[in-house]
Chain A
Amino acid sequence: MKIWLKKTVASGDLFIWGSGAGLAIALMMVIGILILIMVNGLGFFWIGDIVELTLMDGKRVMGQEAGREVIPNSVTPESPEGKSRLRVKIGNRDLYGLDFKWVDEAGIAAQVHPPDAVLLERREWGNMYGRIRAIYKGETLFAESGEAGWKSLLSLVEQANDLHAKIYRIERVEIGEINAEIERARLNIRALELKAPPHPSLPLGGGRVREGVDRLKATIAAAEGRYREKTEALEKLNARLNEYSVVMVDTNNQEKPVPVGNIVRALRPNEIGVIAKGWIYLGNVWTVLTDEPREANTEGGIFPAIFGTVMMVLIMSVAVVPFGVLAALYLREYAKQGTLVRLVRVAVNNLAGVPSIVFGVFGLGFFVYAIGGTIDTLFFAEALPSPTFGTGGILWASLTLALLTVPVVIVATEEGLAAVPRDYREASLGLGATKFETIWGVVLPSALPAILTGLILAMARAAGEVAPLMLTGVVKLAPTLPLDGYWPFFHFDRKFMHLGFHIYDVGFQSPNVEAAKPMVYVTTFVLIMVVVVLNLTAITLRNRLRKKYAGAAV
């Protein structure tokens, strides 16, 4: 027996099984997380049928089925399977105040899927489930209920969406441009006044300054005139938007008028086939990926958050690679190896273990207040007291994360440099290259794949980090992207949205947590996908480099 045991241990079989099991458990956990997120998140895009339940007491409930569970403590000897209850998304938050309702299955008398049940996606108050009673144009009846009403509602919603597109264009693009112009002129005036105060005791330059100020003031006046025109146009469009309203009736005959301008989409889910629902599904995915958020982020899309995350990671990469590579080069190639260098190395490695919120505090104190504040007083004095760089922004957030991830890049680069064969260095030196030429021409190219490995690790870490961002520039809702069509195009001072923070915000800070739950999963899934895509890009690049420097280190 003992010999058998000894043999088994010595053969390593136990060890192999153990290590295999460890790997399997790790894989299962990763796959489990992914499946959980995908099941919960991707189901969000599917339009379920509308069910109308008649309860024993005669009351009715209408909505989309959103789950079923066994009632706790209901398993008794008489009913071994227990009693179950349905979770129905009843919507109509303006009527009921709740989005979901639990219905005991035992209390259901009848269950139907009425074909005329309508689902309205609204810009406010969430979904509405009900039937059309009538459509009004102002005070006059425009269409009755039934098929005619449904048809006219569809075309009205389409018109309303066109109007919304126009309004969006005027608000965001045209008025945005005018505002930018006014703001620029205002700052220029301020700058002129700061440079040469319009003081009677200043004969020189004073006249020119006054001229400049007057010209700028004329520009502002002209822009304000155009602004008034635009607002008038907007008012007209808004009036048209609210011209029609549809009176909906819920399953218990409660009436509720809804302005058509408030409707994003009207659907009769019970009439739509599976293929059409598939198309709607894809459309929903597209909307989430490309649209801006609505209703405190719980509805609409997450495009600004995706954009912010990607742009922040890219800025971070641009900052962290040169910084980390230079540090590693000095540590490995130039510094005299000794106690001091060893200490520095230990310090660098420890830096990777510092909690990220500490970096956030440092970023706030150093980048935002110290550097940003200095930049403001030196270059953006005309905008003070409102800060330009002296407040959180995408640049400071990216630099903070670069600081957070620089140890990863240093360690990976150092390993890459150490793995470059001595032969390469000697060959290069033997050809009359200086040390710098050797490093630049032979060592660094060979270590490039290792540097990219460091970058991949850094990007994965940075994309998922939230805590330091909350202190250095992330916001719940950013009105503008950090990259747009206005000079200087990259607005490094702007605050931005981030998927990680979006998850926290939607999941835990939103007024309607229950309704936002699918959004949390969707955002999580998108965040994972963003990390995967960023990493795949870097890995592809690395593999191409490896092929180019085949046989090179790492």
Chain B
Amino acid sequence: MQTSTDPSPDLLRISVARPHDAFPGKAAKDLKATISLTDVNFFYGESQALFNVNIAVPQNHVTAFIGPSGCGKSTLLRCLNRLNDLIEGAHLEGKILLDGMDIYSPQVDVTDLRKRVGMVFQKSNPFPKPIYDNVTYGPRLQGIRNRAALDQIVEESLKSAGLWEEVKDRLYESALVLSGGQQQRLCIARALAVKPEVLLLDEPCSALDPIATSKIEELLFGLKKDLTVVIVTHNMQQAARVSDYTGFFLMGELVEFNDAKTIFTTPQDRRTEDYVTGRFG
């Protein structure tokens, strides 16, 4: 994973020196960037998936990435916790900073990074284990063995994920007996149990019915109190409903990034307008 040695001084200024400058919109002055990307190019072997992406993700807000299929938004998300490392031949150029730390620098421990940047996937993927064990999987990896502490983590995480009331009497049943929406919220609880600073959600509702979807959307409002949320979706209504900031991607390029209201009402770029008004997509 290569980092560019010579980032453009202008962009560096935006993302590091004065992060709030990176945010357009009215409340921009009060924002602090949790993650900032500088000149990120990403390649799957020979083919390039991301082109010169510069973006700053504001702390304690929900940021949505929208765009048609194959536009690179999921790729970008997976760059943020280095899950793309697993793909053979993939490499990244540019800089991604998490609270000022270059996450692609060789000193960074990937497992530490992933503890700080949690992820929820498109397909709900609870482990074939009891609900309790699913939630405690992350904390146990960190060496927490104390039963009372684990109990507390389970309760807190399931409550934050809005699942506690539904499963508190059957914590030791297999997670696979839960419904799709419940499984997805369990995955959120599992990610929250590690107490991450950032939560990445990769189209978390694409396989869910509207009721389950609305439950998860409600959840996101509550979550941004404690952490930064980045969500990828190709459901524009969802992005409009849940996000504070929205980035529109097309063909691996970030076309426009602004507060959600601007993107969905008065987009600056013609292509964004075409997409959000449903002229293509």
| A and B interact physically | yes
Mark B103-121 against chain A: 1 for CB-CB distance below 8 A, else 0.
0000000011011001101
Q: A549-B128, A550-B176 are in contact. Are A433 and B119 (CB under 8 A)?
A: no
8 A Cβ contacts from A412-461 to B = 421, 423-424, 426-434, 437, 441-442, 445-446
Q: Count of B residues near A, CB < 8 Å?
A: 27
- Is residue A551 within 8 Å, beta carbon to beta carbon, of the partner chain? yes
- Is residue B127 within 8 Å, beta carbon to beta carbon, of the partner chain? yes
CA distance A437 to B114 in the complex (A): 14
A446 neighbours in B (Cβ, 8 Å): 128
CA distance A430 to B111 in the complex (A): 8
- Is residue B187 within 8 Å, beta carbon to beta carbon, of the partner chain? yes
B123 neighbours in A (Cβ, 8 Å): 423
Contact A441 B137 (CB under 8 A): yes
CA distance A432 to B125 in the complex (A): 16
- Is residue B97 within 8 Å, beta carbon to beta carbon, of the partner chain? no
Closest Cβ of chain B to A78, distance in Å, is: 77
CA distance A527 to B232 in the complex (A): 61
Most buried by A among B129, B176, B177: B129
A428 neighbours in B (Cβ, 8 Å): 127, 137
Mark B176-194 against chain A: 1 for CB-CB distance below 8 A, else 0.
1100000000010011001
CA distance A445 to B119 in the complex (A): 22
- Is residue A552 within 8 Å, beta carbon to beta carbon, of the partner chain? yes
CA distance A442 to B194 in the complex (A): 17
- Is residue A137 within 8 Å, beta carbon to beta carbon, of the partner chain? no
A548 neighbours in B (Cβ, 8 Å): 128, 174
Q: A441-B137, A550-B174, A550-B176 are in contact. Are A430 and B128 (CB under 8 A)?
A: no
Contact A430 B174 (CB under 8 A): no
CA distance A233 to B127 in the complex (A): 68
CA distance A423 to B177 in the complex (A): 17
Contact A432 B142 (CB under 8 A): yes
A431 neighbours in B (Cβ, 8 Å): 114-115, 118, 137-138, 141, 190-191, 194
CA distance A445 to B114 in the complex (A): 23
Closest Cβ of chain B to A42, distance in Å, is: 44
**Size category, A interface:** 20 to 34
B177 neighbours in A (Cβ, 8 Å): 550
Contact B141 A433 (CB under 8 A): yes
Q: Which residue of B lies closest to A546 (CB)?
A: B128
Contact A430 B118 (CB under 8 A): yes
Contact B142 A430 (CB under 8 A): no
CA distance A111 to B38 in the complex (A): 108
Contact B121 A426 (CB under 8 A): yes
B interface residues (Cβ-Cβ under 8 A, vs A): 81, 83, 86, 111-112, 114-115, 118-119, 121, 123, 125-129, 137-138, 141-142, 174, 176-177, 187, 190-191, 194
A interface residues (Cβ-Cβ under 8 A, vs B): 421, 423-424, 426-434, 437, 441-442, 445-446, 548-552
21 A-B contact pairs sorted by A residue (CB < 8 Å): A421-B125, A423-B123, A424-B125, A424-B128, A426-B83, A426-B121, A426-B125, A427-B125, A427-B190, A428-B127, A429-B86, A429-B114, A430-B114, A431-B115, A431-B137, A431-B191, A433-B141, A437-B141, A445-B129, A548-B128, A549-B128
